[in-house]
Each structure stands twice: as structure tokens, then as C-alpha cells.
Amino acid sequence: MASSRVNGLLIDGHKSRVTGLLAGLTDENTDIKVLSGVICNMHQYMANMWTKMWKTNSEELKSRAMAWRKEPTIHRVDKPSRLDRAHKLGYKAKQGIIVIRTKVGRGGMRKQRPVSGRRPKHLGVVRIKQAESMKLVAQRRVNEKYPNLEVLGSYFLYKDGKNIWYEIILADPSHPSIAKDVEFKKRLKAFAK
């Protein structure tokens, strides 16, 4: 693809969509350093939007969370909610790769009070923490439900008072499109020698 030059800024062919935007914003007096903060690629824009939605606790995110609460704990989705994170973790829109949205309960671990015998001074019932993160718990639970698939990665979606939601990307090593893909052969444990 050809590359073009706008006010001294070289734009490759695959980024040519921003040429019109740059042409509209730039003139002889505009500094390119100012424009670098304004113009970013699609994935950075999407990541910034998610961060903004979390910080402002937006109505759209709240309405999505209401729908997620009604879903089962482990739920297969057609496409990832955060496409920027999914692509970084290896997601491709092809057969053999699936995305699972799962919720994990928040809070510390629960332990029963002693039933018989003397009551210890410090019962050891509250403030018990587990050794692994909730993200790893979510990955383990999804991997137990789908034993023939391998986890590529997972990312945080949302949390409320009771639950934390993650999306986990899984790949099927026995699927022909995954088995032929050189990139997945390097990443998956099934192809490790």
C-alpha cells in the first residue's frame, strides 16, 4: 500500500483512514505534537473508552451489568466485549476460538465456626484470603467446564458488590484452522514438544 504525507507526517496505507481527519485538523501553524495526543489507533481509543466508562460508572455499563446478572455463571458469547484486550491476548474471529463471560463471587473465603469443644480465643473464621486471584479462579472454572479447550488469556470486565466479571478466550487445539495456524502452534500447550 502507498503511504501519504500530511504536513510532514507520514501515514502508512493501512492507517490512511485518518488522513482525512489529519487533513481537516492540520494547517501550517498547527503543531504535530498537539495532534499526537488527539489521534490514536482504534484499540487505544477503545481502551480509553472502557477506562472512562469505569471511572464515571456510566449508565451503559450499568445496563450491561444488569443483563449479565441474569445470565448463567459461565456464558458463551459471540464476540468479545473488549476487542482491544481480546486482540492483545490472541483473539481472532475464526473457527476454533471461543469467548466465555464468567462471574466470580467477591469477598474473602468463608470458614465454619467450630461446632464442638472449647471456643478458641481467635476463631480463624474471618479475614481468610486465598492464594490465587479471582482471575485465576475464573480461568480454572471455565477450563473445568471446557476441558478440551486451552485458555489463551482473560481480562476484567466489571465488578459490583457481589460479583466480578471476566471474559476468557479459549482455543480448540484439535480444530483444523487452529492446528494449521503457526501463531497458535507456538502459543498452545497441546503443540509444545
Walk me through the domains of the chain, giving residue ranges and CATH numbers.
34-191 (3.40.1120.10)
Give CA–CA dist 129/138, Å, rounded. 16
Q: What residues contact residue 65 under an 8 Å CB cut-off, 6+ apart?
A: 158, 160, 165
The pLDDT value given to residue 40: 56
Of the candidates 181, 35, 31, 177, the one whose C-alpha atom is nearest the C-alpha of residue 95 is 177
pLDDT at 5: 43
- For the chain, helix (H) and strand (E) counts, in that order, are 8, 6
* Pair 90, 187: CB distance under 8 Å: yes
Question: What pLDDT does residue 118 have?
Answer: 85
User: pLDDT under 70 in the chain at which residues?
Assistant: 1-40, 193
Give the pLDDT score at 32.
41
pLDDT at position 105: 92
- Grid cell digits, residue 192: 509444545
